[in-house]
Structure 1
Amino acid sequence: MGGVSRLIASIAHRIVVIGSTLAVLGAIHSLINLKLIRRPMSAGPVQEKVSVLLPVLNEADRIAPTLQSLLAQESLVDLELIIRDDGSTDQTVELINHLTRNAKFQVNVITNDAPAPTGWVSKSWSCYQMSKVATGTVLVFIDADVSFAPTAIAQGVITMREHKLDLISPYPKQTAITWSERLMQPLLQWSWLTFLPLRIAERAKNPALSAANGQFILVDAANYHASGGHSANPAAVLDDIALLRTIKNFGGSGVVVDGTELAKTRMYRNVSELTDGYAKSLWSAVGGKPQSRFLSAFLILSYVIPPLAAVTKSPLRIQRAGAIGYLAAVLSRYLIAKRTKSRTFPDVMTHPLAILGYVGLTELSWYRKLRNKLTWRGKKLP
């Protein structure tokens, strides 16, 4: 029995060492990305025409701060705002008309438009329809729950042009208040800062090297139209990442950049919204179901097994190996939280629970997808 116990302990030790090593490597890579990530450049007068495109659906309870921040934009010589309503049943359109009645720039509100054809995700259809009437040389796609700093759009345009990129996605500051938000939302920025080689990803066509956030995307209009834009992948649930891949496949370049100082948002306000929000899209995040399962196993190996080994009754060498992996993950979470002005302690300590939450939401997403039960805000998803 002693030999069997030693063999089991040896295997367990190797597993924990592998997981902790992966966590340490991830932490090192996140530190590199924190140094390399593109930051917004200072704002100067933007001479080219900029079109801001805003799709809306039942946004009456959240759109006012977004519109107010857009109306206060500075350093833009020629700006137009195009809003397309996708059949709101609340007071969204009335509120938009009221808030924009004295706008200093052109505002075009599209209502009673044709619904999304079969095979199109409603948001992608809205974005594509707005792009066809936009006249700017830069298209800015935004969401209705994002508030912008006064020079956010101007800084975004300048940053994209100065770095000779065709698309950038300034990642907004993610506000998290409830326990579910505080647990899960930090994984958004942590994931791409940990796993995506940012400078390589700018021009790499590999679809795996793509991260974007549809809350705030700027794209060169000529490149958008030439590549097909949203029409190139109309059924994509993650339309933001699909758009970036389309631009890069066409020969363009693009990447996520630091948007902490430019914009802020609160994506979900309770556990129900958060669950439905992630469940509608996680199935498509990394490809098919085998890829999703592999990623879940990888994350558990790297970020759940080490802390478990550190706190369970096991040989000291296993506990030490596990503690190293856990501390590496916590350190990377802490430094990313500091940079993105998110909560630090005690939130960063719950990283293993957040990983388990991600795994659970991924399984739920696949469950709903395979049973054709994916919906968002009352609309059925393809």
Structure 2
Amino acid sequence: MTGVSGTALGWALTAIVGVLTAHTWLNATRGLRRPPPGTAGTDEPVAVLLPVRDEATRVGPCLRSLLAQRGVPGLEIVVLDDGSTDGTAEVVRAVAAGDPRVRLLDGAPLPPGWLGKPYACQQLADRAGSAATVLVFVDADVTLGPYAVAAAVTTLRSASAVLLSPYPRILADSPGERLVQPLLQWLWLTFLPLPAMERSPRPSLAAAGGQFLVLDRAGYRRAGGHAAVRDRVLEDIELARAVKRSGGRIALADGSRLADCRMYGSWSELRDGYGKSLWAAFGPPAGATAVVLLLLLLYALPPLLAVGAALAGAPAAALAGLLGYLLGVTGRLVSARATGGRGWPDALTHPLSVAVLGWLTIRSYHLRRRGRLTWRGRRVR
């Protein structure tokens, strides 16, 4: 396909990718909220809720960053140990060192119909001090800057939102992480119209990252809390949808100047983490197939077309494919710049990143169909 048909296809793909890259830029420059990283404080009582399960190697830096928060005089930190077997609770006690702001709870046995993360979060919300008007859920792999909580609460209130997701800067060190992890921000910056998401009451138009979530407590209760998403693998997105169903507003923000997060420490962790959740992210298999094929068509095919056309002596088709590839790379660079990620030269591998995401998606559906999904030693049903 390197003649007239290849040229037409190449320019058609280039036009679509160009529009999507322009949308990425608009989201990054005009649609994405940016919390103030400075010294602004809040007088509201805030409960930071930290669920942990076998996080002995990660919880220390996270908890120390929480204890170092400034601008939140009414701060309490509640940690729930969800059946850890690696000494996580001992690490929490050592880091807290008797600080009265920290409470360590033992998680209750998992009841039928619940997944582990939602149940841990619900227990934390139920046990937070009655004075707290804002609940901040933080994962153990997140390290916050000194004014992160204060800035996030300020942004929640300025957005008139019930739920704010200040997406942390995603750290990616290994080659596998650098291939896949940048797609987390790129996908919603490219395909989700952020201003419309905030204004629209439609639950389907929602996004959130559970690593760092800030919620108005009264609105959280109106939405049903984590009990409303008790059996959902992607409890963060489903909680955002529950907030919308209850009449609340949600918002996304760039939290890259507030917090860092390294979600996975190895390729096997990343593979298993995506295996657990991708089937839930893309819906029924037919829809997931359509999404994967579309992404491959738009972002993996253009460089192949460019090389094939160049070898076949079809310069017009080669130019179209090359331009489509470069526009895709530009979208990745815009996303990285907007969210504190690694841009150059990683963005050059964008077609391979999309292809790996497609493979991870197929693997996730395969494991689910065979009933072999597990996470943190528990079956994912």
Give the aligned residue type for 1:131: A
Match of 2:209 in 1: 213
Counterparts of 1:268-283 in structure 2, within 5 Å, are: 268-283=264-279
Q: 2:148 is matched with which residue: 149, 152, 159?
A: 152
Distance 1:345 1:210 in 2: 29
Distance 1:239 1:16 in 2: 39
Tell whether 2:167 aligns with 1:176: no
Q: Secondary structure at the match of 2:260?
A: strand
Match of 1:106 in 2: 101
Give the aligned residue type for 1:323: L
Q: CA deviation at 1:119?
A: 1.9
Distance 2:97 2:366 in 1: 45
Give the aligned residue type for 1:363: I
Tell whether 2:299 aligns with 1:319: no
Give the aligned residue type for 1:321: A
Q: Secondary structure at the match of 2:102?
A: strand
Q: 2:112 is matched with which residue: 114, 118, 139?
A: 118
Tell whether 2:238 aligns with 1:239: no
Match of 2:302 in 1: 306
Distance 1:148 1:221 in 2: 21
- 2:41–2:151 Cα contact (<8 Å) kept: no
Unaligned runs of 5+ in 1: none
Deviations 1:50-78 (A, max 9, x none): 01111100000111110110000000021
- 1:43–1:158 Cα contact (<8 Å) kept: no
Match of 2:344 in 1: 345
Q: Which runs of 4+ in 1 moved over 4 A?
A: none
- 1:238–1:285 Cα contact (<8 Å) kept: yes
Q: CA deviation at 1:40?
A: 0.2
Tell whether 2:29 aligns with 1:30: no
Unaligned runs of 5+ in 2: none
Distance 1:167 1:306 in 2: 38
Tell whether 2:270 aligns with 1:256: no
Q: Secondary structure at the match of 2:47?
A: strand
Match of 1:139 in 2: 135
TM value normalised by structure 2: 0.95
Deviations 1:61-118 (A, max 9, x none): 1111101100000000211111111100011001101111242x5222111x322222
Q: CA deviation at 1:336?
A: 2.0
Q: CA deviation at 1:286?
A: 2.4
Distance 1:301 1:22 in 2: 11
TM value normalised by structure 1: 0.95
Give the aligned residue type for 2:40: G
- 2:159–2:251 Cα contact (<8 Å) kept: no
Which region of structure 1 is more displaced relative to structure 2, 67-76 or 134-143? 134-143
Q: CA deviation at 1:168?
A: 0.7
Match of 2:261 in 1: 265
Which region of structure 1 is more displaced relative to structure 2, 347-356 or 187-196? 187-196
Taking only the aligned residue pairs, the percentage that are identical comes to 42
**Structure 1 pair 11/115, CA: closer, same or farther in 2 (3 Å)?**
farther
Distance 1:157 1:74 in 2: 12
Distance 2:355 2:298 in 1: 12
Q: CA deviation at 1:43?
A: 4.1
- 2:254–2:338 Cα contact (<8 Å) kept: no
Match of 1:376 in 2: 375
Q: Secondary structure at the match of 2:74?
A: strand
Q: CA deviation at 1:335?
A: 2.2
Q: CA deviation at 1:15?
A: 2.8
Distance 2:70 2:115 in 1: 33
Which region of structure 1 is more displaced relative to structure 2, 314-323 or 165-174? 314-323
Q: 1:76 is matched with which residue: 72, 78, 81?
A: 72
Q: Secondary structure at the match of 1:76?
A: coil
Distance 2:123 2:287 in 1: 33
Q: Secondary structure at the match of 2:19?
A: helix
Number of equivalences = 374
